[in-house]
Structure 1
Amino acid sequence: MALKSRTVLMGSFGLLVAGALAFVAFRTDPVPVDLHRVERGALQVTVNADGKTRIREVFEVAAPISGTVLRSPVRVGDPVVAGETIVAVVEPASSNLLDARTRIQAEAAVREAEAALHQARSLMREAGEDLTLAEKEYERAKLLVERGVSSVTRLENAEQQLGIKRAAEAASISGLEMAKGALDRARAALIEPVNFPDGPGNTCCKQLFAPVTGQVLEIDMISERPVTAGTRLLSVGQPDDLEIVADLLSVDAVRLETGDMAIVERWGGDTPLEARISKIEPSAYTKVSALGIEEQRVDVVFDLVTPSERRRELGDGFSVFLRIIEWENDDVLLVPVSAIFRKGKDWAVFVSENGVAQTRVIRIGQRNASFAQVLEGLVEGDQVLTHPSDEIDDGVAISERP
């Protein structure tokens, strides 16, 4: 009897050992994961873009006449006062006197223009006579139709001819004015040029004054050289009156509107600046990206809201980085974007419940690169798995990484 009891005990102990070994052999270790606690906070959705500063109003000074621009009296960065500071001096070009051949050609052009004017006057008189005759024919045809002697067709023909003659007279008047202009132009070629005095102290030179109070931004002509009328000499502006322009993808620009705020970063200062959209250009243009892809871009202009005293180092043509605020809310339920994934047509997350991963379908609203707004499916305090691996599924044991 004692032997039988011992046998039973030994058998039971063997079964326990075998069970323990089987449990150790086949048990699954918890998968280490990263957990994030769902909390409420601020969410900001932005459109990011590179931009460049530019002076809002740039005034260009150009040569009003052809001639020689003298060496520039100012340098880039010099302060100027509107109407007082001389920024450029232009000496008129000295024209040569008419030589014999040029004079003969000019005189022949005058005679030709006079003949054309005489012809234009004759054509105008002829058109006037034709118009008078057409008016009489029209009145006669109208009277005959009223008496029933003539057909309506004759009246219509007379009316048509009257319109043609009126148009011909108008054309002849225009031709006469053109002939007068041609004659004036031909006579002007015979006018002798005026010789300006040479030497210091002469008053022949044209002095150009600063159009606005500010600084010299750029000088195109520093040394003396010949120029033609309309050639740009320099530009003047107020360096603290800056705006920012950025080219955005058209699909991003349609989500923005005038008045939206932007955060200006990477401009070189310690603190970000604030800007506001002042204008979204109505037309887009094609731009080839660094990857060789054609993109439709839209220029968006921003006014700097930050006072100029806090951005004195910022100048014209400086590069900046913009985060344009498309949407923001200071109190939303947030879930990391790294935690959400697609499950069919829905969004879902893995939630930690008593050390086990469970799938939960959620509905999200706005999102940015880091967080998404939770509308349904989660509550504050839930623990969600971020960057879940392929090992994670419903019912899998998990443990938080230290």
Structure 2
Amino acid sequence: MSRRRWPWIVLVLLLAAAAVIAYRMRPAEVQVVELKRSALQRTLQFSARVATSSRVNIGATITGRVAAVQVREGDAVRTGQVLLQLEPDELRTALAQAQANARQAQARVAGLRGSVRSTAQAQLEQASATLRAAERELARTQQLIADGFISVARLDEARRAVDVARAQQSSARAQLQAVGDSGAELAQAQAQLAQAQAAIEAGQARLAQATLRAPTDGRVLLRNVEPGQIVQPGSALLSLALAGPTELVAQVDERFLDQLQAGQPASVVADAFPAQPFAARVQSIAPAVDAQRGSVEVKLAPGQAPPAFLREDMTLSVEVLTGERAAALVLPLSGLRDEATPGHGTVWVVADGRVQARAVQLGLRTLDAAEVLAGVAEGEQVLVGPGAPPGQRVRTRIVSWQAAVKHWGGTREDGVNSVVNTMGR
């Protein structure tokens, strides 16, 4: 090799080494996103079920055999409409017997107040006349004995006749009092009449109970009875959804209670009709939490007339708009380094070519972003994903919002945005 080539070789090696050193010493490249203002919405997702304002189970109050069932599941019913009929023959026979007993008791009362009372009055008058005659005979006997015309033995006979007549008068008077308006016999007869009339009312009520009617307008949800079946009191034979406003009822995890309030708008989709969403609004939030499930009951009302396809207990997917900002300074959650306390965290920004740590105050937070209230300004560059620590010089590469979101490795629960609950009633 010529000596003239050595200087060039050495120069090339020195330049290559300088290039390697310069490459290794250059600032590390980091990915940043420029903060901008945009609309920000937070939603909460959960499952719900359709429920009417009230539901009632219809059952028999007497034991009997089902003669006919007049409705089927899904039928609309009106107030007073016959739903089910029990066999009434035995009940009608019992009612007829009670009516006959009442007529008999009424006839007895009328008899006591009529002919029986007249007979008792006549007997009293006859007994009184007999007593008067016996008393006159006793007085005449006493006079004849005093005059010496008859013996004293006749006096005892006259006195016995008076005593007998007096006893007959007392018996007749007691009989008349018994059949009088305040007498015991008439009172007994009237009590028997009242008892017979009460038996009629009980028979009529039991006969009416053999016919089950709709208590109000509604729709038949369940039918658990067929003709010929023997039913007992307390068994639910039919279930009705009473006419009233349709409600959507959900059990929402208590962790998200602070996001919900009455009046919030929602979008609802029935699992069976995914192409027909409809609007709703949060109507009420239960004041108590279910301790066993750790959930709170939330009721929603359709915005207008509920869709015709809604059915009792139908499964729905609900998305409630729980927060909204028209123009918020939005930070991807991939740029949030830590969150020491709720609403306060730290981000790394690039200023003058170096990484700086900034404390920020956060507002509305969604699944993948948060509103920045203080700490950074619009247009500043925030590191997303892994990067150089504060104080180090860096080179920046601006990435899109979509790319920044991909760096966020949180879950649905971490985002404090949405949760899917199973609904129990």
What's the TM-score, normalizing by structure 2?
0.55
- Cα 1:260–1:204 shift into 2, 3 Å: closer
Equivalent pairs: percent with the same residue? 25
Structure 2 match to 1:135: none
Shift of 1:256: 3.2
- Cα 1:35–1:391 shift into 2, 3 Å: closer
Q: Mind listing any 5+ residue stretches in structure 1 that lack a counterpart? A: 1-5, 98-183, 197-202, 288-294
Distance 2:339 2:298 in 1: 38
SS in 1 for 2:322: strand
2:212 pairs, out of 208, 213, 219, with: 208
SS in 2 for 1:281: strand
Shift of 1:75: 1.3
1:19-57 residue CA offsets vs partner (Å, 9 max, x unmatched): 442332552477665543322222233443322221223
Shift of 1:262: 3.1
Does 2:254 align with 1:250? yes
The structure with more radius of gyration? 2
One-letter code aligned to 1:299: E
Structure 2 match to 1:72: 69
SS in 2 for 1:75: coil
Distance 1:353 1:235 in 2: 70
1:235-264 residue CA offsets vs partner (Å, 9 max, x unmatched): 233689421111123343355333333332
Preserved contact between residue 270 and residue 314 of structure 2 (Cα < 8 Å): no
Preserved contact between residue 352 and residue 384 of structure 1 (Cα < 8 Å): yes
Distance 1:31 1:66 in 2: 88
Preserved contact between residue 362 and residue 373 of structure 2 (Cα < 8 Å): yes
Structure 2 match to 1:333: 329
Shift of 1:219: 0.9
- Cα 1:358–1:210 shift into 2, 3 Å: same
Structure 1 match to 2:54: 57
1:314 pairs, out of 307, 310, 314, with: 310
Question: Pairwise CA RMSD of aligned residues?
Answer: 4.2
1:278-332 residue CA offsets vs partner (Å, 9 max, x unmatched): 2322332233xxxxxxx52222222122432xx3323211222333333322221
- Cα 1:398–1:204 shift into 2, 3 Å: closer
One-letter code aligned to 1:236: L
User: Aligned residues, how many?
Assistant: 289
One-letter code aligned to 2:45: N
Structure 2 match to 1:224: 228
Distance 2:89 2:41 in 1: 63
1:275 pairs, out of 269, 277, 280, with: 280
Structure 1 match to 2:33: 36
Preserved contact between residue 79 and residue 216 of structure 1 (Cα < 8 Å): yes
2:368 pairs, out of 370, 374, 381, with: 370
One-letter code aligned to 1:217: L
Shift of 1:341: 1.2
Structure 2 match to 1:285: 290
Structure 2 match to 1:233: 237
SS in 1 for 2:310: coil
SS in 2 for 1:315: coil
Deviates more, 1:343-352 or 1:248-257: 343-352
Distance 1:392 1:315 in 2: 58
- Cα 1:79–1:72 shift into 2, 3 Å: same
Distance 2:318 2:10 in 1: 73
Deviates more, 1:63-72 or 1:361-370: 63-72
Give 1 or 2: higher helix fraction.
Answer: 2
Distance 2:399 2:29 in 1: 5
- Cα 1:87–1:230 shift into 2, 3 Å: same
Q: Mind listing any 5+ residue stretches in structure 2 that lack a counterpart? A: 95-190, 401-425
SS in 2 for 1:270: strand
Structure 2 match to 1:384: 382
One-letter code aligned to 1:54: A
- Cα 1:318–1:373 shift into 2, 3 Å: same
